[in-house]
Each structure stands twice: as structure tokens, then as C-alpha cells.
Structure 1
Amino acid sequence: MSWTDERVELLKKLWSDGLSASQIAAELGGVTRNAVIGKVHRLGLSGRAKAPAPQTAQRPKKPVAAPPPRPHRPTAPTPITIGATALKADIVPAARPQPSTQPKVYSLSDAPLINNASILQLTEQTCKWPVGDPGSDGFHFCARRSEAGIPYCGYHARMAYQPVADRRRTDRRIAGAA
């Protein structure tokens, strides 16, 4: 359907009265809401007047009160589990072994628990420090006794876990030598 002069005038009047594009499309008949919006845009009509809002009694606003304080509930420690726990009936909180700040053994004087240990022979109590070239036949792991919570014996832990200040000092020496 085409826009005749009468339909354009009716569109302008309804738009200025504050009707929505959907209401105008229904009033005109044969046009869609989007067609009305496009024609309003092409005509350059200003924003339509606000339709008068229905008069309602103003309710007094309630003061906003702070929510009541929640009682403090002590939380139980989260249980530590190892492996699949879906089928375990009772999960008992276990104390996690705390690694000491410095390992006790600082030399290789202790005999290994397993001579020439392969990766398949390592346990929680053995040092997992690799010795030699992984591509050679003589490659093995240290296998000396390690402390709880640390994967290495005291000697190798000291090599692996350097304090940050010592590491930076070593890095500066290396950078200065280059």
C-alpha cells in the first residue's frame, strides 16, 4: 500500500498525539509498525509526545533498612581426598603433611633407597631428581629418602628451591659475566 497525502497527514497527527508506531499501523491499516517508523524517520518528525500516564496515587516510599546481621557459623575444614571420591562412603578430613622450611640433609652421603631407580620404582618417600641424560642407558633417579611433601631429598631440594633473593643474585652475576 502506498502513502497518500491523507495517510501521511493522519500519520503526523497520530504521531504528535503520542501514539506508538504499532498503534498507528493498526489505525492506518495495511502497513506494518516498521513501515510507520521508516516513514516517520523519512519525514523527519520529532520525537513523539508522551502519552499521558494514568494517574495513580503515590505510595510513600519505605525507608531502606540494613539487613539483619547473620549469625556467625563456624565452617568445618574442607576434607582432603586423594583419587576418585564418588564411591567413598565417609570422607574424613586428613591432615596434609607440611613440608619443613629447609630440608634436613644437605649432602649425598646417605645411600639411595633403590640403586639406579627407574621412574616405575619411585614412591612418595624417594627423591625424584633425575641423574644423567634421559637418552642414555645410565639414566636413573636419585632415590634417596625425601621428606614429607617434598619430591626431592634434602640435597636436591636445596638446589631446586632457592630463595628468591639468592636466585636474583645469581641471575645478576650471570648477566654481568655475559
Structure 2
Amino acid sequence: MNWTDERVETLKKLWAEGLSASQIAAQLGGVSRNAVIGKVHRLKLSSRGRATSQRTRQKKPPQPGTTTTRRPRNTRPMTATVGATALQAQFEEEPVARTYLQPVGNVVVPISRKLELTQLTEMTCKWPNGDPLSDDFSFCGNEAGESGPYCGYHSRLAYQPASERRRSR
């Protein structure tokens, strides 16, 4: 669709009257709302008139002894805040009851064999010890059972029942 001089003038006139882009597109025909918006921006038609509604407000004269204050149109009342008022709020909180899990008695932490990655087999515990980027990084290396990649101690750490995880939160 080409924008002829006649269509551009019609667009300018309708835009100044305050019609929406959809209404202008419908009147021009063969053009989309987005095409109208794009042309309006290219023509820099930012200021526009207001569409007049069928119901216009009739101004009533103020009654004697009353004062009226008006705020400008198209503005909203805003509450003014000074500083960070969110930090000034005072909250009354009750202390949160926390439950701490006590370790079961007679827990024996196995002594790590400190194996490197190349020393691991299918039957060794693959629990990592330390930071993988440091020089002293190693794996547990104790005997892993048939149940998985970890020894008994590290299996209990890795695979906790969901009910116990919920309790600890």
C-alpha cells in the first residue's frame, strides 16, 4: 500500500481529531493499525487533539460558601515519600521456632582414601572432597556397595528421604 498525499492528509486530519489508530485504519481502508502508527511516528505527529465524547460535562456553578480545588487533567494524585521509608517500617515478629537435627549417635565418618579421578573404579566411592579447582581435590575412595556410586556414609548424605528434608527447613 502506498501512502499518497491525499491519504497522508486524511491521516493527519483524523489524527488531529483524536481518532485512534484503529479507527483511522478502518476509515482509510487497506491499511493496518500498525501501519498507521508507523506513519504517524515518521511524520512526527505526536501532539494531537482529544476526541470529543457525546456526553460533555456541564459545569455547575459553585455553591456559595464552598471552595473547589481542581487538579489538572490527565494527572493522578501521588503520595510523596521522603527517603527510604521501607526501611523505617517497624515490624513485630514472633521468634521462629527452629529445629536442629542432632546427629545420630555413633556416626563414624570414614577416613577418605583421597583418590584421584584416574584411580576410581566401579567399586570405589566417588564423593568429592574439596574444591575441584584446588590442588588438594580428591575423592573419598572407600568401598562403594552395589547400591550406587557412594559408600554407606556418603549415600546417607546424598539420598535423604523427602520427609527429613522438609523437617530441616
* Superposed pair shares fold, TM > 0.5: no
Q: State the TM-score, normalizing by the size of structure 2.
A: 0.35
Q: State the TM-score, normalizing by the size of structure 1.
A: 0.33
Q: Which has the larger radius of gyration?
A: 1
